[in-house]
Amino acid sequence: MATLEVQQKVVCPECAQIATEHIQQVSALEGLSWWTRISCPMCQTVAEDGGDGYPPEDIRQRLMQAHGIWGLKIPRQQDRHRALVCLRRTLDFSLQERVCH
Write the pLDDT tens digit of every residue in 5-48: 999 999 999 999 999 999 999 987 778 899 999 999 999 999 99
The confidence score (pLDDT) of residue 94 equals 66
The confidence score (pLDDT) of residue 28 equals 77
Beta-strand pair 31-39/18-28: antiparallel
Average pLDDT over residues 73-99: 74
Question: Taking Cα atoms as reference points, which of 68, 34, 37 lies closest to residue 50?
Answer: 34
pTM of the entire predicted model:
0.68
Cβ contact 31:91 at 8 Å: yes
Question: Taking Cα atoms as reference points, which of 63, 62, 57 lies closest to residue 27?
Answer: 63
Q: What angle do CA 9, 15, 17 make, to 5 degrees?
A: 35
SS3 labels along 3-72: EEEEEEEEECCCCCCEEEEEEEEEEECCEEEEEEEEECCCCCCEEEEEEECCCCHHHHHHHHHHHCCCCC
Q: How far apart are CA 12 and CA 46, in angstroms?
A: 9
